[in-house]
Structure 1
Amino acid sequence: MDNKQIILKKRPEGNPEEANFEIQAIKTPEVEEGALLLKSVYISVDPYLRGRMRDEKSYIPPFEIGKPIESSVIAEVLASNNSEYNKGDYVHGMLPWKLIQVHSGNELQKVDKEQAPLSAYLGILGLTGITAYVGLNKIGDLKKGETLLVSGASGAVGSTVGQIGKIKGCHVVGIAGSDEKLTIMKEKFGFHSGINYKTTKDMNSAVKNACPEGVDVYFDNVGGEILDAALANINRYGRVINCGAISLYNATETPKGPRHETTLVKKSVKMQGFIVRDFKDDFESATKQLGSWLQSGELTYSETIKNGFDTLPSAFIGLFEGENKGKMVVKV
């Protein structure tokens, strides 16, 4: 059986490029006692993977040169020598970018394709949806009637954040990079209004106009000047949830910006970064609630699905060029 893997060939300097990756033909391994033979079905590409391509200490070890990239994967069990799994089961876990691989079965979760499409377990019912849920609940402490501002609002996390805000009775404003994305945000996800940051010359004024009562909670996926604009319009006792900073991921040096200490103190603003794995104890309850909203029709999602294992590098690069609407997934 033909097999492949995708390795990190060299570390990116600035924007990632195809040359940073290499697709290699490899042998299909034998299934040992107690192990599973897995075939990748859907593979997630996520902005945070860019951070793991840097050779620096972080909350998760960096990728090694010459070793496969890894991310969230939905895989089919082709063969099982493990009593807890059967041939034909579908599982979810953090796995290397390989077509076929052997795995012990530890830290894998079975997923049910009858309950939701398999790709949903990488997005709305996976870490993406959980990130939105725990960020709003554990840090944002979102209350009915408040104004919620979301950056990266047409992406997988941002669109889920906005919908949860609507469910909780908030005024929801999203920031994205095209008029098409703003239309989707409003018509599909129910955002009250949106801001196209690429055509907006004065973000401070744009946020002020879209949030006339000020910003109570800002869910930040991009950082940079958009974060500056949100803080310029933050209300007293406002909360800023730092989930991501995609505008800075490819920067070769740290840009200088406004100093926010005075705003944080004068307005008693809470500003907190988080990693979703900080809240593992909440994963089960979060998934249950997200699944309930999905089944009731209160929650929906968008996906951008690329076809073919070899498209993984270009799909990942496309995240930084705004190619995705919702969750970016590769169907193997």
Structure 2
Amino acid sequence: MNETALTVHQTARPHGFPTVEHFAFVESALPAPVAGSALVENLYWSVDPYHREMMDDVPGGFALGTPLEGRSIGRVIASRTPRLAEGDVVMHRQGWRTHAVVGPENVRQLPRFDGVPLTAFLSTLGGTGLTAYVGLTRIARLQEGEDLFVSAAAGGVGTATGRFARLLHAGRLVGSAGSMAKAAHLVREVGFDVAFDYHDGPVADLLGKAAPGGIDVFVDNVGGEQLSAAVGALREFGRIVRIGTISQYNIPDAPSPRFDYADIVEKSIRMEGFLVSNYRDVQEELYEFAVPRLQSGRLALDETLVDGFEHIVDAFLGMLRGENTGKIIVRDRTQVPPAN
């Protein structure tokens, strides 16, 4: 067992795109659990787009000079509570650190499903997959045969949305991505009917070519021009599921998207955002939906794995630059499978 622990602190507020200079790795003595708590050695860490929002000086945002938070999976290595035993594998929100002292009330003990790796609990079976599932089933209320457009479709939520929508018998699936290679991957591997690189021209034109008959649902991870284009392409009684606005996270004073608000009224369009934390009661339903399909191979994991906690900042910045396909996860080097 390591005798020291590492944490990542935010040291300054970024004005625009963050850099490695906005973070610091801090070494300290290994923390000891107090009565009623346990010490967890983290094995996997999630880096997510919402972390960028929390880096700004906003209510509930990250405090400077303190360890950053985030979802993590770890193993209990010392316990002073009967509710957590050494060897238990748990999920908690004290990520961006190698070790964490947690109470039983702050963790979720993870079920083990044959053939399903632990990383799935940070991707398809975790907050990423739950966001996609809730967006489709609770917010959009997707119906069989309906046509769907997903922005940032090659990211974690985007790929999960595409795969779930296909399993829910959606109609035409259209995705946008940041490169032609990613667009091709969406069609070849994820199940989209057509995908485009949003850099290739006005998004309204690209979407019009990809979905000439319009769309019923737009799952929006981006905002900006893609939201504007989707409003124009939506049919009567269309729905917009607002998940994120990553196109504006790194642009100070970014303008709000511009679209014809009359379309919202004239086409009876509904636009709704949500926080996945308000839908934890859907977690078991997601397991029932996704686990058997993962085990049978009908559903695949879309993950980019980065080896080594020392690369967690690089992984986060790479995610903001769109370097990942699917959910990006950092893993401890001891979890890397041996070479063949």
TM superposition score category, shorter chain reference: over 0.9
**Which secondary structure state, in structure 2, belongs to the residue aligned with residue 87 of structure 1?**
coil
SS in 2 for 1:240: strand
Q: Does 1:72 align with 2:74?
A: no
Question: How far apart are 1:6 and its partner, in Å?
Answer: 0.6
Mapped to 1, the partners of 2:112 and 2:18 lie a distance apart of 33
**What SS class does the counterpart of residue 160 from structure 2 fall into?**
helix
What TM-score, normalized to structure 1?
0.95
Q: Is the 8 A contact 1:156 1:325 kept in 2?
A: yes
User: What is the letter of the counterpart of residue 157 of structure 2?
Assistant: V
Cα distance, 1:243 vs. partner?
Answer: 0.4
1:201 aligned partner: 201
Which piece of structure 1 moves more, 165-174 or 142-151?
Answer: 165-174
More moved, 286-295 vs 26-35: 286-295
2-side partners of 1:101 and 1:157: how far apart?
Answer: 27
Task: Describe the shift of the 1:74–1:278 C-alpha distance in structure 2 as closer, same or farther (beyond 3 A).
Answer: same
Contact kept? 2:160, 2:302, Cα under 8 Å: no
CA distance, structure 1, for counterparts of residue 196 and residue 230 of structure 2? 12
Output the amino acid matched with 1:117: P
Provide Cα deviations, 1:274-300, integer angstroms capped at 9, x if missing partner.
111121222221232222332232221
Q: CA deviation at 1:113?
A: 5.1
**Structure 1 ranges of 4+ moved more than 3 A:** 112-115
In structure 1, C-alpha distance between the alignment counterparts of 2:147 and 2:216, rounded to whole Å: 5
Q: SS in structure 2 opposite 1:305?
A: strand
SS at match of 2:91: strand
Q: What secondary structure, in the 3-state scheme, does the structure 1 residue paired with 2:71 have?
A: strand
d(CA) in 2 for partners of 1:259, 1:145: 27
Q: Is the 8 A contact 2:45 2:95 kept in 1?
A: no
Residue in structure 2 matched with residue 167 of structure 1 by the alignment: 167
Q: Deviations over 1:243-271 (max 9, x none)?
A: 01100011111315424321100100001
Find the counterpart in structure 2 of residue 92 from structure 1. 91
Q: Is residue 232 of structure 1 aligned with residue 232 of structure 2?
A: yes
Alignment correspondent of 2:338:
none
Matches within 5 A, 1:172-321: 172-198=173-199, 200-321=200-321
Amino acid across the alignment from 1:68: P
Q: More displaced, 217-226 or 106-115?
A: 106-115
- How many residues are paired up? 328
Shift of 1:62: 0.8
Conserved 8 A contact 1:90-1:111: yes
Which residue of 2 is the match for residue 101 of structure 1? 100
SS of the aligned residue for 1:71 comes to: coil
The CA RMSD over aligned residues, in Å, is 1.4
Deviation at 1:235, TM superposition (A): 0.5
**Unmatched 5+ residue regions in structure 2?**
333-340
Aligned partners of 1:92 and 1:110 also within 8 Å: yes
Alpha-carbon distance, 1:66 to partner: 0.6
Deviation at 1:26, TM superposition (A): 0.8
Residue in 2 aligned with 1:27? 29
Tell me if structure 1 keeps the 8 A contact 2:150–2:220.
yes
> Conserved in 2, the CA contact under 8 Å of 1:28 and 1:101?
no
Query: Which of 11, 14, 30 is residue 9 of structure 1 equivalent to?
Result: 11
Q: Secondary structure at the match of 2:29?
A: coil
**2:46 is matched with which residue?**
44
- Specify every segment of 5 or more residues in structure 1 that has no aligned partner in the other structure, as ranges: none
User: What displacement does 1:85 show?
Assistant: 2.0
- Code of the residue aligned with 1:90 in structure 2: it is V
Q: CA deviation at 1:320?
A: 1.6
Within 2, Cα distance between the matches of 1:4 and 1:40? 11
Q: Which amino acid aligns with 1:41?
A: L
Scaled by the length of structure 2, what TM-score is found?
Answer: 0.93
Q: Given the superposition, is the C-alpha separation of residues 114 and 234 from structure 1 closer, same or farther in structure 2, using an over 3 Å criterion? A: closer
